[in-house]
A and B are shown apart, each in its own frame.
Chain A
Amino acid sequence: MDRDPTVCVMGEDVGHYGGSYKVTKGLAEKFGDLRVLDTPIAENSFTGMGIGAAMTGLRPIVEGMNMGFLLLAFNQISNNCGMLHYTSGGQFKIPIVIRGPGGVGRQLGAEHSQRLESYFQSIPGIQMVACSTPYNAKGLMKAAIRSENPVILFEHVLLYNLKERIPDEEYICNLEEAEMVRPGEHVTILTYSRMRYHVMQAAKTLVNKGYDPEVIDIRSLKPFDLHTIGNSVKKTHRVLIVEECMRTGGIGASLTSAINENFHDYLDAPIVCLSSQDVPTPYAGTLEDWTVVQPAQIVTAVEQLCH
């Protein structure tokens, strides 16, 4: 926002309140009410307004207080955000960033535990990225803001308190690039967002058991970084996908199909995809834990895959 006066933020309680997850804390004091805009609770229209503003050349960052609320803006995101560049024959660019926390939290209930990446992934014309660490959160955010394309940045409710040392100097992360978290030889584990931490936890156990998993945080949900993923598959010949989306129609489902189509010859075993259950996220803590993939399940899956 310092660097580019066309960057502005709009969302519920992003300004004076500092953001429901404190992402925009301090910005309103620094940049004022015209650049950090508190909107009424009207996702459909303020997302539409962000897109309209982007058509003129501004670079708005629209926050969904919880990504689930953006379902109310689905028409704007799908038809206008994704498609205007195409239907106008290239005349209008939509350099908007739509971001917010999603994913399964701590007993927030079904409606506040949505994973919208599965709903949005078919929309042509948008890019989707998911951050998972303070380092890539900053890098991806900057890249998303500077991109001329509409980018949806998926943050996770449970990852906001992570602390990490990050470089002082300017850096960005490539929007279309996956992150090699842990190189390995036996199996390729593809994951993103919070599940990365479950995978790394499982990886510790696996290493103790003598396995050498390669862990890749795919980061780019649309389009997939098939270059990094493909190279990994060619090396290990076994793929495990660990995601938080539901089994049906999730990112894992698309990724499985993309890898099968492109790298079938390199697979020694069918791809295994661990996803959340196809259920509304229940409130009770124990039930909620069973909804998402846990490290123990990841360990078991790798053992079976590498048999």
Chain B
Amino acid sequence: MALSHIATSSSRSNLLRPLTAALSCASHPLRRPISSSAAADDSTTLTIETSVPFTAHRCEEPSRTIETTPKELLTFFHDMATMRRMEIAADSLYKAKLIRGFCHLYDGQEAVAVGMEAAITKKDAIITAYRDHCIFLGRGGTLLQVFAELMGRQAGCSRGKGGSMHFYKKDAGFFGGHGIVGAQVPLGCGIAFAQKYSKDETVTFALYGDGAANQGQLFEALNIAALWDLPAILVCENNHYGMGTAEWRAAKSPAYYKRGDYVPGLKVDGMDAFAVKQACKFAKEHALKNGPIILEMDTYRYHGHSMSDPGSTYRTRDEISGVRQERDPLERIRKLILAHDIATEKELKDTEKEIRKEVDEAIAKAKEIPMPDPPELFTNIYVKDSGLELLNVIIAYDLDEFIDETALLYSDSLDLQQQTGNPEHSLRHELVLCFRFLGSSTTNWESRA
């Protein structure tokens, strides 16, 4: 039964649905003259429809009619074009061996990142797996931070120590960036728990793929989230392939939005940024009132699973180009912008040229940033106050050099005594702790400490 899927093209056509519906705008009040006034226009409302209606499981689906503004359309275009360009540039950098290890690219899936951001605030949390470059950008990360991290440089968002799969941005509620499939979902539910604990009125979007949807820990976490009414939104970015395994070969029931059983779900066209935005808005309201909900984003990645996967051994080139032709998220926005006369074709091309330049500049700048220094190997293993951060550095370097630096770094720990109420926690004691773990070089430490 399963094998017959390969033969029939009809099953493939699920992935290709024309854009026609997007262009059927219900009304737009004025046919405005071209761009420059429209460019910054936040006041005109355009009403558009999502490509397809939502499919709901145990809930009432939101309307497919959405209001937007020219400004939002242009922002979507700009943001998605930046993401697209960034990922393609990363492809070249990887082939030039400037990016090593694993590199999972997001091009094709941009609408999910952009639509989600548009529906929420930076106080809401997002956590995702390893296909995280664009989500990081959406949360406010810069191109420079992205490329620096990908190339393992000091100014990368994780100081060069994380790599492609470990982007984080704490100040913008982005919790990473995780390599082990599915492990981020319990983390996300924990973040949602903390949000409920602190009564923040914020929510957490925990993203995972169709491959991760079969992980047990997902269902464990979902059960707990539903039991404790946590504001957790589980978002399945269903790009239909778990690495090289198509969804129908991995999941008995690929209706991921229904797999929460007692938890409501919504199936969304993940190539339509407005559908994503609407769904995320809906989900946030739902989660704050009724606890967890699952969103299944029907999306597609043009690249293979990672840079070591050509992406064409388990799917046909026709399928890939078909989706690009019929459902490309960037093209959808472009067509909308042109249809509503918000900008001309040339202006959009100019924007793309600008973006290309920005990306190239960021790469050039990132290339100049040095790799981390050797002591960086041992920083951030522990948090400073326990005195352990320095210990490995001390082993690697001469003891003498570090006396003064230690004293500086541990001037913070003078407060430690107040914090812990323990008279043992004085600066001297911290220094002693620091030097405890040295080998035979401890012979002189007593006099120094």
Contact = CB atoms under 8 A, between A and B. Distances in A.
A88 B169 CA distance: 8
A48 B222 CA distance: 12
A253 interface: no
A45 B189 contact: yes
Interface string B428-447: 00001101111110100000
A89 B158 contact: yes
A24 interface: no
Contact of B420 (A48, A172, A225, A228): A172
A80 interface: yes
Interface in A40-69: 40, 42, 44-58, 60
A75 B182 CA distance: 11
B187 A89 contact: no
A80 B382 contact: no
A79 B440 contact: no
B391 interface: yes
Given A37-B228, A227-B437, A48 B422 contact: no
Contacts of A286: none
Nearest to A78: B180
Contact of A226 (B157, B419, B437): B437
Given A51-B187, A127-B386, A146-B419, A90 B220 contact: no
Contact of B166 (A51, A87, A146): A87
Contact of B190 (A51, A146, A149, A174): A51
Contacts of B186: 44-49, 51-52, 76
A285 interface: no
B195 interface: yes
Given A47-B186, A55-B175, A90-B159, A85 B382 contact: yes
B56 interface: no
A164 interface: no
Given A49-B224, A50-B190, A79-B183, A90 B442 contact: no
Nearest to A266: B440
B220 A45 contact: yes
A60 B192 CA distance: 14
Given A49-B189, A76-B186, A87-B158, A56 B195 contact: yes
From A54, A127, A176, A265, residue with most partner B Cβ within 10 Å: A176
A2 interface: no
Given A45-B221, A53-B194, A85 B380 contact: yes
Interface residues of A, number: 62
A46 B186 CA distance: 7
A170 interface: yes
A28 to B, nearest CB: 14
B387 interface: yes
B72 interface: no
Given A76-B186, A79-B180, A91 B217 contact: no
B191 interface: yes
Contacts of A86: 161, 380-381
Interface string B377-396: 00111111111100100000
Nearest to A143: B420
Interface in A85-130: 85-93, 124-125, 127
A56 B270 CA distance: 29
21 contacts: A46-B224, A47-B186, A48-B189, A49-B190, A51-B186, A51-B187, A52-B192, A56-B194, A58-B193, A58-B194, A85-B383, A87-B162, A89-B156, A91-B169, A148-B385, A149-B388, A170-B421, A172-B420, A223-B391, A227-B442, A265-B440
Interface of A: 8, 34, 37, 39-40, 42, 44-58, 60, 75-76, 79-80, 84-93, 124-125, 127, 143, 146-149, 170-172, 174-177, 223-228, 230, 261-263, 265
Given A40-B223, A53-B197, A85-B380, 10 more contacts: A34-B197, A47-B186, A53-B190, A88-B170, A89-B160, A89-B168, A91-B169, A93-B383, A148-B384, A223-B391
Interface of B: 125, 127, 156-163, 166, 168-170, 175-180, 183, 185-198, 216-217, 220-221, 223-224, 227-228, 379-388, 391, 419-422, 424-425, 432-433, 435-440, 442
Q: Which 7 A-B pairs have the closest CB atoms?
A: A52-B190, A48-B186, A49-B190, A227-B436, A45-B220, A52-B187, A89-B159
